[in-house]
């Protein structure tokens, strides 16, 4: 079955709804560490917040990294780190280095 034609306004609304659902899901899954997301999917919450900030800039809006991260994390990044971020294991760090050379 072919994908139905979607006008630009509807596509934007659907994409925005999917983004909001992804952000809500990531806020709920505080057990999922950013390094694991990077190792498995090649992006993490910080990437998503950077993409958000870059999209804002394309629209002529200035959004700081901390503000964009707070939008994604649902709280200041430092607060999220203190509450939920665990020290990465040697295996996680090695997998990250292999998947992201020079990062």
Reported as a single tens digit per residue, the pLDDT across 21-42 is 999 999 999 999 999 999 999 9
Structure tokens at 6: 């979607």
Closest of 86, 69, 87 to residue 27, by C-alpha: 69
Average pLDDT over residues 2-8: 91
Tell me, what's the pLDDT at 22?
97
Query: Please, which pLDDT band fits residue 11 given cuts at 50, 70 and 90?
Result: very high
Confirm whether 32 is domain-assigned.
yes
Tell me, what's the pLDDT at 103?
66
Confirm whether 98 is domain-assigned.
no
Query: Please, which pLDDT band fits residue 96 given cuts at 50, 70 and 90?
Result: confident
Closest of 31, 33, 38 to residue 96, by C-alpha: 38
In the chain, the number of structural domains is 1
DSSP label of 16: H
Confirm whether 22 is domain-assigned.
yes
Confirm whether 93 is domain-assigned.
no
Confirm whether 81 is domain-assigned.
yes
Tell me, what's the pLDDT at 100?
75
pTM of this structure: 0.85
Q: Does residue 46 carry a pLDDT above 90?
A: yes
- Cα angle 88, 90, 25; round to 5: 30
Domain that holds residue 45: 9-85
Confirm whether 100 is domain-assigned.
no
Return the CATH number at 29. Answer: 1.10.3340.10
Q: Does residue 3 carry a pLDDT above 70?
A: yes
Looking up tokens 């990044």 gives: 77
DSSP label of 60: T
Number of alpha carbons in the 13 Å side-chain half-sphere of residue 97: 7
Confirm whether 97 is domain-assigned.
no
Confirm whether 14 is domain-assigned.
yes
């Amino acid at each position: 079955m072919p994908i139905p034609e979607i006008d630009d306004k509807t596509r934007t609304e659907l994409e925005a709804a999917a983004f909001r659902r992804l952000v809500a899901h990531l806020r709920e899954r505080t057990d999922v560490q950013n390094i694991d997301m990077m190792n498995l999917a090649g992006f993490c919450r910080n990437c998503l917040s950077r993409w958000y900030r870059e999209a804002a800039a394309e629209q002529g809006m200035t959004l700081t990294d901390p503000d964009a991260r707070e939008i994604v994390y649902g709280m200041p990044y430092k607060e999220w780190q203190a509450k939920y971020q665990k020290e990465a294991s040697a295996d996680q760090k090695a997998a990250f280095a292999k998947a992201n050379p020079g990062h």
